[in-house]
Amino acid sequence: MVEQINMHVQVCYAGLDKTSLLDVQVVLDATVLQVIQQSGIMEIHPDIDVNILKVGVFGKLKTLDSSLHAGDRIEIYRPLIADPMEARRRRAKKQTQV
């Protein structure tokens, strides 16, 4: 019998009402999608649709079939509520009016 080697990774998601950071033990060759599914985060946050939302590891975009390393943190990104450039323009305009 061959012993499987496991590694520790994290899965995080910041929803509108709740943030989750989950520690997961996975097999060495697990993909981003496999870890997300194994973590149970989609049950905690039913609004997660991995076919639509982008994912990354430590701030760098990844595909669902990307491989991982021990200690990696998978981040699931929800869509932006506002365009950052437009929000910056509004703040700048508001400051000049004061």
Residue 11 covered by a domain: yes
Confidence of residue 57 (pLDDT cuts 50, 70, 90): very high
Residue 61 covered by a domain: yes
Residue 1 covered by a domain: no
> Whole-angstrom Cα distance, residue 75 to residue 85?
23
Tokens 């430590």 -> residue: 58
Residue 20 covered by a domain: yes
Containing structural domain, residue 22: 6-97
- pLDDT mean over 68-84: 88
- pLDDT mean over 62-66: 96
Residue 48 covered by a domain: yes
Neighbours of 3 (CB within 10 A): 5
Minimal CA–CA distance to 15: which of 61, 78, 73, 74?
Answer: 78
pLDDT single digits (tens) 6-40: 999 999 999 888 999 999 999 998 999 999 999 99
We report the CATH number of the domain holding residue 44 as 3.10.20.30
Please give the residue that has the higher pLDDT: either 49 or 97.
49
pLDDT over threshold 70, residue 1: no
Predicted structure pTM score: 0.77
Domain count, the chain: 1
